[in-house]
């Protein structure tokens, strides 16, 4: 098994930004355990993804993230929200890496095309562009694959080269919602009693959380994240600028400034309302950086994936060699904003089971 991932490290939207100032989960924040328990009680709904999550929790990869999560209106906690949660430890990024220990992982390797004509008699050729320092951005290729799993709906553009138009169309037709995420450090810990909050009635922000309150993080790092509202992201996100360009950096800085203003106002209001003695300097942001997710949340389930939890098609080369192509990911399973991680796991597990079942059926022929 070879995994090509365009990102610097595996994890995708469940990954971690880490630096000398601290660590931020700028995508998936946590996994909702309350709903997992409900499904467990109702045997019919308890599925392979829940069992997988429980196994990883038993191994210590996921642990409880303690602390209150509230709904905040005008800086005032109006009700308690979201019960038991698990977060990856030490981080989502580290767990992804550990899970891939036995896989030939090619990070910073963006797949740019395929050749399914079986040119060298050794199956599909994957063409990828590596940003790894020793591979210099050239397009390279690797052959020998009988099964291709596309793990991002944005990979529909490369799926065309495999001759699986219907599958590519189903991927392409899933609409998605963008998101902007702010990562900051504060000059001190805010004197408040919650670790996360859904923000009500704010134009820019929908969620804030204290990343340094997660298990195995440095408490004194005071790292927080803030997530945009859909309306703010829709109004701001343009996909014209390329990361790494001056234009993109300027745009991201402007977004970071705006979101920082909202976050600081919300935290100061929450502190003022918390009825706790504030001991120290006024709360300030000491570092801020924004991240753009062009396609953060799928807004529908891919047509054809509703039951199977994946899409599958085959393509046959002129030499008669059959390649099976799968498309997997959170967009193949219905879920809400706190269930995307589990949806992606459910899709991946269902696909893996299908690959193994097909392989074993073939070997019996
Ligand atoms: C801001 C935000 C907050 C979220 N909060 C939560 C939460 O609290 N709880 C929760 O459960 N879920 C949450 N989610 C959702 C969760 O992160 C996703 O549902 C889940 O991570 C999706 O996993 P995936 O494997 O389907 O896709 P992804 O994680 O997007 O993985 C796709 C991978 O494919 C790679 N890729 C794409 N194209 C190519 C190519 N051509 N070549 C090589 N590699 C390629 C990408 O680099 C990426 O690594 C959140 C998401 C966001 C963005």
- Tell me the pLDDT tens digit for each residue of 153-163: 999 999 988 99
Q: Which residues contact 227 (CB under 8 A, 6 or more apart)?
A: 179, 180, 181, 182, 205, 206, 207, 208
How far is the C-alpha of 122 from the C-alpha of 120, rounded, in Å?
A: 5
For residue 90, whether the previous peptide bond is cis, meaning omega lies within 30 degrees of 0, is: yes
Centre of ligand 1 from the C-alpha of residue 262, in Å:
26
Residue 111, number of CB atoms within 10 A of its CB: 20
Report percent pLDDT > 70 for the chain. 95
Residue 22, Ramachandran bin (φ over 0: left; ψ between -120 and 50: alpha; else beta):
left
- Closest ligand 1 atom, residue 5 Cα: 44
How far is the C-alpha of 23 from the C-alpha of 290, rounded, in Å?
A: 14
Centre of ligand 1 from the C-alpha of residue 26, in Å:
11
How far is the C-alpha of 63 from the C-alpha of 87, rounded, in Å?
A: 6
State yes or no: pLDDT of 282 exceeds 80: yes
Q: Specify the pLDDT at position 78.
A: 82
State yes or no: pLDDT of 123 exceeds 80: yes
Our count of domains for the chain comes to 1
Residue 27, classified by CB atoms within 10 Å of its CB into exposed (0-12), middle (13-18) or buried (19+), is buried
Residue 139, classified by CB atoms within 10 Å of its CB into exposed (0-12), middle (13-18) or buried (19+), is exposed
Q: Specify the pLDDT at position 81.
A: 65
Report percent pLDDT > 90 for the chain. 74
Residue 213 domain-assigned (yes or no)? yes
Closest CA to 270 of 172, 181, 206, 193: 193
Residue 83 domain-assigned (yes or no)? no
Residue 337, classified by CB atoms within 10 Å of its CB into exposed (0-12), middle (13-18) or buried (19+), is middle
- Tell me the pLDDT tens digit for each residue of 337-350: 889 999 999 999 99
Contact in structure between 172 and 156 (CB atoms under 8 Å): yes
Q: Specify the pLDDT at position 46.
A: 59
Query: Which H helix or E strand runs over 56?
Result: helix 48-59
Residues with CB under 6 A from ligand 1: 4-7, 12-14, 27-31, 110-111, 151-152, 154-155, 158, 179, 181, 227, 293, 296, 329-330, 338-344
- State mean pLDDT over 74-89: 81
Q: Specify the pLDDT at position 270.
A: 94
How far is the C-alpha of 169 from the C-alpha of 311, rounded, in Å?
A: 11
Q: Which residues contact 71 (CB under 8 A, 6 or more apart)?
A: 77, 78, 79, 80, 81, 197, 198, 200
Centre of ligand 1 from the C-alpha of residue 143, in Å:
26
How far is the C-alpha of 216 from the C-alpha of 326, rounded, in Å?
A: 36
- Closest ligand 1 atom, residue 328 Cα: 26
Using most ligand atoms within 8 A of CB, pick from 3, 5, 28 the residue to mutate for ligand 1.
28
Residue 60 domain-assigned (yes or no)? no
pLDDT band of residue 239 (cuts 50, 70, 90) is confident
Residue whose tokens read 């999550």? 53
Q: Specify the pLDDT at position 47.
A: 84
Supply the CATH number for residue 202's domain: 3.90.660.10
Q: Which of 42-56, 120-134, 180-194, 294-308 has the lowest mean pLDDT?
A: 42-56
- Mean pLDDT for all residues in the chain: 91
* Complex prediction ipTM: 0.99
Which residue's CA lies nearest to atom 41 of ligand 1? 111
Residue 246 domain-assigned (yes or no)? yes
- Tell me the pLDDT tens digit for each residue of 299-323: 999 999 999 999 999 999 999 999 9
**Stronger pLDDT, 181 or 243, i.e. the higher one:** 181
DSSP code string of 251-284: HHHHHHHHHHHHHHHHHHHHHHHTT----SSPP-
- Closest ligand 1 atom, residue 347 Cα: 26
Residue 6 domain-assigned (yes or no)? no
Q: Print the domain residue range for 217.
A: 176-297
Residue 111 domain-assigned (yes or no)? no
**Stronger pLDDT, 274 or 100, i.e. the higher one:** 100
Residue 309 domain-assigned (yes or no)? no
Residue 232 domain-assigned (yes or no)? yes
**Stronger pLDDT, 181 or 136, i.e. the higher one:** 181
Q: Specify the pLDDT at position 160.
A: 85
Q: Specify the pLDDT at position 45.
A: 55
What are the tokens at 75?
């800086």
State yes or no: pLDDT of 217 exceeds 80: yes
How far is the C-alpha of 210 from the C-alpha of 263, rounded, in Å?
A: 12
State yes or no: pLDDT of 358 exceeds 80: yes
- Closest ligand 1 atom, residue 293 Cα: 53
How far is the C-alpha of 362 from the C-alpha of 189, rounded, in Å?
A: 59
Centre of ligand 1 from the C-alpha of residue 330, in Å:
8
């Amino acid at each position: 098994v070879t995994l090509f991932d365009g990102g610097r490290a595996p994890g995708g939207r469940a990954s971690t930004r880490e630096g000398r100032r601290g660590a931020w989960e700028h995508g998936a924040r946590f996994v909702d355990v309350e709903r997992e328990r409900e499904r467990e009680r109702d045997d019919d709904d308890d599925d392979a993804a829940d069992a997988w999550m429980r196994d990883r929790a038993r191994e210590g990869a996921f642990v409880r993230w303690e602390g209150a999560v509230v709904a905040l209106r005008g800086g005032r906690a109006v009700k308690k929200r979201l019960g038991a949660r698990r977060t990856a430890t030490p981080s989502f990024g580290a767990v992804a890496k550990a899970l891939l220990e036995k896989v030939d992982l090619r990070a910073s390797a963006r797949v740019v095309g395929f050749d399914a004509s079986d040119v060298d008699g050794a199956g599909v050729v994957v063409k990828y562009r590596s940003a790894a320092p020793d591979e210099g951005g050239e397009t390279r290729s690797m052959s020998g694959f009988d099964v291709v799993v596309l793990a991002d709906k944005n990979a529909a553009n490369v799926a065309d080269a495999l001759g699986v138009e219907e599958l590519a169309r189903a991927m392409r037709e899933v609409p998605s919602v963008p998101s902007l995420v702010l990562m900051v450090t504060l000059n001190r810990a805010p004197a408040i009693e919650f670790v996360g909050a859904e923000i009500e009635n704010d134009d820019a922000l929908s969620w804030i959380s204290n990343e340094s309150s997660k298990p195995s993080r440095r408490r004194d790092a005071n790292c927080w994240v803030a997530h945009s509202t859909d309306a703010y992201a829709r109004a701001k996100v343009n996909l014209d600028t390329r990361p790494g360009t001056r234009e993109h950096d300027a745009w991201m800085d402007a977004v970071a400034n705006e979101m920082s203003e909202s976050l600081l106002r919300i935290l100061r209001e929450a502190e003022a309302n918390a009825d706790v003695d504030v001991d120290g300097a006024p709360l300030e942001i000491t570092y801020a950086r924004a991240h753009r997710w062009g396609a953060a949340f799928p807004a529908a389930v891919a047509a054809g994936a509703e039951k199977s939890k994946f899409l599958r098609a085959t393509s046959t080369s002129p030499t008669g060699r059959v390649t099976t192509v799968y498309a997997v990911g959170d967009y193949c399973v219905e879920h809400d904003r706190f269930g995307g991680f589990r949806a992606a796991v459910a899709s991946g597990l269902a696909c893996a089971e299908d690959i193994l079942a097909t392989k074993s059926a073939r070997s019996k022929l």
